Amino acid sequence: MQEESPLGEGIVVFEESWESGAQILVVDDVVTNVELMRLQLTRAGYQVVTAFNGEQALETIKKTLPDLILLDVMMPGMNGFEVCAKLKEDPHTQLIPVVLVTALHEVEDRIKGIEAGADDFISKPFNRVELLTRVKSLLRIRKLYRQLEKSYQEIEAKNAILTEELRMARHVQQHLLPAEFPNMNKLAFEVTYRPTIEIGGDFYDFIPVSDDEIGIFLSDVSGHGVSAAMLTMVISTMMRSITQEAHEPGVVLDQLNRQFGKMVEGELTGTFVTAFSVVINQSTGRIQYANAGHPSPLLLRGDVDIVEKLDTEGFPLGLFDTAQYESREIDIKPGDKLVLYTDGIYDVVDEQKELFGLSRFVALVEELRHLPAKEMAKEILARISVFAQNAPQPDDICLMVIEHLR
């Protein structure tokens, strides 16, 4: 909206708005032109700084970083095209709107100004209404740029905080996982863990039972990321407390289910954890195991080319507080291997969203069954990585290979 100024006929004053007070640089080698523009702009509520040649303009811009620049084209020394091009090449000044004020009317001159990066043009002699209207419009765009820049900086700051929090959470989670494998004469272990982000919802642990027996626990919290990682810390604390007094896999899962079920009542209802608990006696080869809705481990016999699944029934932890978990037993021999894993390993997708799938994973395990535990785990993950290419993955991956040594 506009009104006639009482200060003089034909002088236009725009009502004060959000861009009033913005700083505008006027550059022209003719003093009269500079003063005329300065008068119109100051009466409209803008702050005005001036320069009378290209070199002086660049120095002023460096010191003040104005909100908008009105730049004469035909100046001795560095002309307006050259000044504009330098401003648009500099990341510190490239978003400052530049209006070329010119008496040139040829199309090629306009093209030259566009190539230099000019945001708009005003012809000489300029119309006061046109001048203030274009200034107002470009300052509005400048404000939007600044708001976007501020939002981007705030996002960057939040991301930096989140990155640091994730780093700290990863540090804590790494200390929850075993620092080393158990030192067993007749058993070899290899574990690979790949969270989707810095931290994940998969968890594993080794529980010493006796000189000949080792307990192994593997779990997967529903979901992934920070919330799932927080629950792995809860699961690990509960599990370690329970296994101080009980080692039988079915009993461990029973108690863990009751404790975890009470914790997730209310707002966390529907949150669950799949888990597999096993105790292996390296001398006798006897293993006891129980399953809480976890993918069935694979047993590879060293003397036959058969992959057995350790299938058992059992609901995931946290769904039903009355659920019961049965311990089963089976014998393994020297040369046998046990492969434990979370479902993320076969939920891998490639860049075309094709699923790797459980059957392909089982076939891969069977193909590599004769490799030692460490090489086997390494090759499985390498093959899966080749399949996935660079596609982001939907879930955390945990793979454990246990070999009964000959």
Q: What is the rounded CA–CA span in Å between residue 14 and residue 12? A: 7
The end-to-end CA distance of the chain, in Å, is 91
Q: What is the rounded CA–CA span in Å between residue 210 and residue 205? A: 16
| 24 touches 135 (CB < 8 A) | yes
Q: What is the rounded CA–CA span in Å between residue 297 and residue 342? A: 9
Mean pLDDT of the 333-348 span: 95
Confidence of residue 161 (pLDDT cuts 50, 70, 90): low
pLDDT of residue 5: 36
Q: What percent of the chain has pLDDT over 70?
A: 87
Give Dmax (Cα) for the chain: 107
Mean pLDDT of the 46-51 span: 95
Q: What is the rounded CA–CA span in Å between residue 154 and residue 47? A: 28
Task: Point out the least confidently predicted range of 3-17, 78-92, 266-280, 379-393.
Answer: 3-17
Mean pLDDT of the 368-389 span: 95
| 239 touches 217 (CB < 8 A) | yes
In the chain the domains, ranked by start, together with CATH numbers, are: 2-149 (3.40.50.2300), 177-404 (3.60.40.10)
pLDDT of residue 35: 93
Mean pLDDT of the 32-55 span: 93
pLDDT of residue 20: 61
Q: What is the rounded CA–CA span in Å between residue 148 and residue 153? A: 9
In degrees, rounded to 5, the angle at the alpha carbon of residue 207 between the alpha carbons of residues 202 and 208 is 160
Confidence of residue 87 (pLDDT cuts 50, 70, 90): very high
pLDDT of residue 9: 38
